[in-house]
Chains A and B, each alone.
Chain A
Amino acid sequence: MTTTKYDPRILKTQHPVPGAPDNWKRFFTFNTDAKVIGIQYMGLALIFLLVGGLLAMVMRGELITPPADLVDPSVYNGLYTMHGTVMLFLFLFPVLNGFNNLLIPTMIGAPDMAFPKINAAAFWLVPVFAIVLLASFFVPGGPASSGWWSYPPVSIQNPLGHFINGQFLWILAVALSGVSSIMGAINFVTTIIRMRAPGMSYFRMPVFIWTAWAAQTLQLIGLPALTGGAIMLLFDLSFGTSFFRPEGGGDPVLYQHFFWFYSHPAVYVMVLPVFGIFSELITVYSRKPLFGYKFVALASFIITFLGLIVWVHHMFYSGTPQWMRNLFMVTTMLIAVPTGVKVFAWLGTLWGGKIRLSTPMLFVLGGLVNFIFGGITGVMLGTAPIDIHVGNTYFVVAHFHYIIFNTIGFGIFAGIYHWFPKFTGRMYYEGLGKVHFVLTFIGATLNWLPLHWAGLLGMPRRVASYDPEFAIWNVIASIGAFMLGVASIPFILNIVSSWARGPKAPANPWNAIGLEWLLPSPPPAENFEDDVPTVINEPYGYGLGKPLVEDQEFYVRRSMEA
């Protein structure tokens, strides 16, 4: 009955570290088990969330008063550059790859990834480029300080003239991160296409798998452009070429195209899996099937396609000709349609449900409200006349933090709480989780809501000092930022103490439907091992009374006995 499409030798390989799950040393080795790699990614990423958060709090300390008085402006510029870089390349991408590793094999019934060694190598590149990036704090002249865009010519000015400088290390780290992400993407896409359990046709895949697939496709298409651009920038910086240097006949705007061709889709790389998490969790905690599953699934790839043809909206005032501005404005506005389909589907799923406001659901609903808000300001920014006024101001900073923290960050916290029992085998503490949510929601709102007004009044982004009329918005924002710092305490306390001595988790604590919930908690190394279930129905069959797989009783019993 088990007709597997993948190489059966995968099952025969020796488990590299015996004694799991109690042997914690496996997390510090070149382990090829996707579930170990997933936790490696997430643990490391969460440490860098603290690093990036700390940098942010120094920035907010500087910005609590109008003049540049806490740190030198040159230091502020380095801090904001590193804050953005750490958060994107060392927190968000790794943490989402953590989810991919944990969830893709278990949700589709595969024993592991298609290329376990490439998978492990992709992970171990993360600490390598993390060290390269963080080392730049200690080189003469300090780290890169031209923003995470690193637009030339400012990024290739190299004031001290050293060969090894902060910007050099920054480009190296970003290029390595790109290599790591491409290795990950090849793995995830191959696994999804080739290793699904029998019976799991595309339209029986969970939405998280759809979104992960759509997102990783974007990585494969977009990253080569960024990596190429980064290599040319490195040559301009270090070897005197002039791809982007105007004195030598280069065009600085060309770099912006390379950069945004990837970096706009990068936002969808991050937000799509969070849409997946929203879809998984809203169904469980509303006890209802996903409203319009096929529409939601397909909308992911429509977002992928449209996401690739909107990048020029970051350059509306860079001297872009009118017809291009109009064209890219239309494509940008179109993205609202598939995104709206998803939002309305989640609302439809809530309707008439049996809603349970546990910590993961609170984070999902909070994230959803924030996403609707950030989506609306996104459409405003997409219209060129508005963008020409508020582009490059704090309105943009507020908008993208509403997406990247208040939506994506919330979705990540929701996912961590939801799947924590599955992959650690322990339950988290609900009370601490709720404290974490309340502090995070209030802190995030105080932090980013007021900054919209600062931007509307004309406060440029990336400033180390500002005119006194913007002070009020910045004081409130700084208080919110410090509150977010405090919010990390209950979270860390919860995760660490639950994992160490939390109550043992049952196989399916949320009474959820999905292949991963038919596995014991934590799942064994090869997941379903020799008995891969045959999927016979669409996911999220809450209240329909239809089994997800053939012989469901057998899997439920086995997961409980383990």
Chain B
Amino acid sequence: MTSTTPKPKKSLPLRLIIILITLVGLNLIVSIQIARWSLSWLPVAASTAAPYVDGLFSLEVGMGAFLFIGCVGFILWSVIINRADKYDESDGLPIEGNTKLEIIWTIIPFIIVMALAVYSIDINGKLDTLGPKNKYDVADEQSPQAVATLDELSEIGPIEVISRQWNWEFVYPNGVRSSELHLPINQRANFLLTSKDVIHSLYIPAFRLKQDIIPGSVISYSITPTREGRYRLRDAHFSGAYFSENQTHVIVQSEQNFESWLELTNSKPLVPGLSPGTVFYQKRLSKGNKGWATVPPAPPPMVNDPGNPEETHEA
């Protein structure tokens, strides 16, 4: 537009700049606080993977909070300042765009998300060295050990993790079978994950780790717990009627306690293990088998240690 009286409208008013810097500064302070606070939204950190995940999470919460507060603040500010009066039918400033601004808000987010991606790839690599996950196809009657390459760096294991509709079974190298997963602290344990029926997922929130278990394959998987305690192990992949009951405990112990548990349990007789689905299915049958169709639960595995499902867990 060519105007006959060019107005000197080059410089932003100083007051506006001061207000803007103050607001951005406030946003920054609040966002950093939220990022710090966000660590308390997560369960206790109990594996070597957790600090990496938590650090990235906190960083992303902080960045997200800054963006969210900035954008919502802008919207609220616009709505308050630029609200049309009741009978004001006029138009707003006829600004059609600003190429420079548009290029800036394309390039800056590009740089930010790519930096985040590179950082996450780096963390992915670190998590992999903490505990690799490799998938191998397994034929019907093959044992998992025959197929999978074991984690060379592991100190414990391989522990066979067998998932079923709806129970978990853990088989230790010395032949001990358990319904709960006992692990010694600060030692890298190697697992061979298998499923006897559908897809399940090994999920221990306190470890920040999750791995789908695919029938027809075996996954070699490693974890290093770092904190003693009793944590929930959940099936995180929908597996049918009693999916939500398909959970058990991980018990992280000192090396001494772990060894004595292993020895003691080895001498115990086999008893039916934990199988919450069976209990619910019996209840259902006794009530006349009402409800929608479901496959019957797999029989409880015979184990040396059926565990203690009533015990409280930390996370």
Contacts and interface: CB of A to CB of B under 8 A. Distances in A.
B229 to A, nearest CB: 14
B113 A355 contact: no
B164 interface: no
A386 B84 contact: no
A391 B237 CA distance: 10
A376 B67 contact: yes
A516 B204 CA distance: 55
A354 B124 contact: no
A154 interface: yes
A384 B41 CA distance: 19
Contacts of A389: 42, 53, 57, 205, 208-210
A159 B210 contact: no
Contacts of B135: 319
B163 to A, nearest CB: 13
Given A334-B113, A389-B209, A372 B68 contact: yes
Interface string B162-192: 0000000000000000000000000000000
Contacts of A250: 216
Interface stretch (B12-20, B93-101, B152-160): B93-101
Contacts of B237: 392
A560 interface: no
Interface string B199-220: 1010101101111101111010
Given A357-B83, A385-B120, A460-B236, A465 B245 contact: yes
B102 interface: yes
Given A253-B214, A319-B219, A384 B293 contact: no
A347 to B, nearest CB: 6
A372 B102 contact: no
A445 interface: no
A456 B198 contact: no
Interface stretch (A126-134, A207-215, A325-333): A325-333
A372 B74 CA distance: 12
A74 interface: yes
| B96, B101, B128, B247, most chain A CB atoms within 10 A | B96
B30 interface: no
A388 B75 contact: no
A543 interface: yes
B124 A376 contact: no
B68 A462 contact: no
B294 interface: yes
A336 B205 contact: no
A337 B109 contact: yes
B82 A319 contact: no
Q: In terms of DSSP, what is the predominant structure of the interface of chain B?
A: mixed
B114 A333 contact: yes
A388 B53 contact: yes
A500 interface: no
Given A293-B96, A330-B117, A463 B124 contact: no
Contacts of B68: 372-373, 376
A413 interface: no
Contacts of A78: 292
A160 B205 contact: no
| B67, B75, B92, B232, most chain A CB atoms within 10 A | B92
Contacts of B203: 392, 458, 460
B71 A288 contact: no
Contact of B120 (A286, A354, A384): A384
A511 B92 CA distance: 13
A352 interface: yes
Interface in B66-81: 67-68, 71-72, 74-75, 78-79
A325 B241 CA distance: 31
Interface in A449-464: 453, 456-458, 460-464
B127 A385 contact: yes
Contacts of A538: 96
A326 B116 CA distance: 12
Contact of B212 (A68, A145, A317, A462): A317
A151 B94 contact: no
A372 B67 contact: yes
A430 to B, nearest CB: 12
A458 B234 contact: yes
B45 to A, nearest CB: 11
A354 B82 contact: yes
A147 interface: yes
Interface in A270-298: 286-295
Interface in B122-170: 123-125, 127-128, 133, 135, 140
A145 B242 CA distance: 12
A385 B52 contact: yes
B290 interface: yes
B270 interface: no
Interface stretch (A30-38, A95-103, A135-143, A414-422): A135-143
B82 A322 contact: no
B96 A289 contact: yes
A199 interface: no
A404 B314 CA distance: 34
B78 A386 contact: no
A355 B97 contact: no
A252 B78 contact: no
B113 A457 contact: no
A317 B211 contact: yes
A449 B127 CA distance: 30
B294 to A, nearest CB: 5
B215 A292 contact: no
Nearest to B239: A154
A547 to B, nearest CB: 14
A72 interface: yes
A94 to B, nearest CB: 26
B82 A353 contact: yes
Contacts of A29: none
B315 interface: yes
A353 B92 contact: yes
A1 interface: no
Interface string B280-313: 1000100000111111000000000000000001
| B98, B240, B292, most chain A CB atoms within 10 A | B292
Nearest to B52: A385
18 contacts: A74-B291, A74-B294, A142-B291, A154-B198, A286-B82, A293-B97, A319-B133, A319-B219, A322-B124, A334-B110, A347-B71, A348-B101, A350-B79, A388-B127, A392-B201, A392-B203, A457-B315, A462-B238
Closest 10 pairs (CB-CB, A-B):
A458-B205, A246-B216, A142-B292, A543-B91, A141-B293, A72-B291, A463-B244, A543-B94, A353-B92, A376-B64
Interface of A: 68, 71-75, 77-78, 140-143, 145-147, 151, 153-154, 157, 159-160, 165-166, 246-247, 250-253, 286-295, 317-319, 322, 325-326, 329-330, 333-334, 336-337, 340-341, 343-345, 347-348, 350-357, 365, 368-369, 372-373, 376-377, 379-380, 383-386, 388-389, 391-393, 453, 456-458, 460-467, 511, 538, 541-544
Given A353-B93, A467-B247, A544-B96, 19 more contacts: A154-B240, A247-B140, A294-B97, A295-B102, A318-B212, A318-B214, A329-B120, A333-B117, A334-B110, A341-B105, A347-B71, A351-B82, A355-B82, A356-B84, A368-B75, A385-B53, A460-B203, A460-B234, A542-B92
